[in-house]
A and B are shown apart, each in its own frame.
Chain A
Amino acid sequence: MIEIIDLTKRYGKITALESLNLNIEKGSVFGFVGQNGAGKTTTFSILATLLAPTSGSAYVNGYDVQKEPKLVRKQIGYMPDFFGVYDQLKADEYLHFYGASYGIPFAEREKLIPQLLDLVNLFHKRDSYVDLLSRGMKQRLCLARCLIHDPEVLILDEPASGLDPRARVEMREILKELKSMGKTILISSHILPELAEMCDTIGIIDEGKLVAQGAVADILAQLRGERLIIVKVHAGAEKAASYFEDDPHVSKMAILEDGFSFQFIYKGTPEEQTEMLKKAILNNLAITSFAEVETDLEDVFMEITKGVELT
Chain B
Amino acid sequence: MKNLVVNPVLNKEFKLRFRNFKSYLGVLFYLLALGLIIVGFIFIESLSNNMQGFFKPDQSRTMFMVLSVLQLALILFITPGLTAGVISSERERQTLNIMLTTTQSSASIILSKLISSISYLILLIAASLPLYSFVFLFGGISPGQLLTTMGFYLFTILAFGSLGVLFSTLIRKTIVSMVTTYGVTLFLAGGTAFLALIFMQLTNAYGYTATQPTNPLAYFPAMLNPVIILISTFEPEITNEISRSTGIEFPLWVSYLISYTVIFIGAVLLSIKKLRPNMKKVK
Contact = CB atoms under 8 A, between A and B. Distances in A.
Interface of A: 48-52, 54-55, 65-67, 69-70, 73-74, 76, 78, 80, 82-89, 93, 97-98, 100-103, 106-107, 142, 145, 149
Most chain A beta-carbon neighbours within 10 Å: one of B11, B98, B277 = B98
Given A49-B276, A52-B278, A86-B12, A101 B99 contact: yes
B14 to A, nearest CB: 12
Interface string B9-27: 1011001100110000000
19 contacts: A49-B276, A49-B279, A50-B97, A50-B277, A52-B279, A55-B282, A66-B280, A66-B281, A69-B279, A73-B102, A80-B97, A83-B94, A83-B97, A88-B15, A88-B16, A89-B12, A102-B104, A103-B103, A107-B3
Contacts of B3: 106-107
B16 A87 contact: yes
Interface of B: 2-3, 8-9, 11-12, 15-16, 19-20, 93-95, 97-104, 276-282
A306 B144 CA distance: 77
B239 to A, nearest CB: 47
Contacts of B95: 83-86
Contact of B16 (A73, A83, A86): A86
Contacts of A100: 8, 11
B100 A50 contact: yes
Main secondary structure of the interface of B (DSSP, over half): loop
A239 B16 CA distance: 73
A199 B103 CA distance: 29
Nearest to B9: A101
B103 A70 contact: yes
Contacts of A65: 279
Contacts of A80: 94, 97-98
Given A49-B279, A52-B277, 10 more contacts: A50-B276, A51-B277, A78-B97, A80-B94, A82-B94, A83-B94, A93-B15, A102-B102, A102-B103, A107-B3
A268 B11 CA distance: 67
B69 to A, nearest CB: 36
Contacts of B104: 101-102
A162 to B, nearest CB: 14
Contacts of B16: 86-89
B98 A76 contact: no
Nearest to A105: B3
A232 to B, nearest CB: 49
B19 A97 contact: no
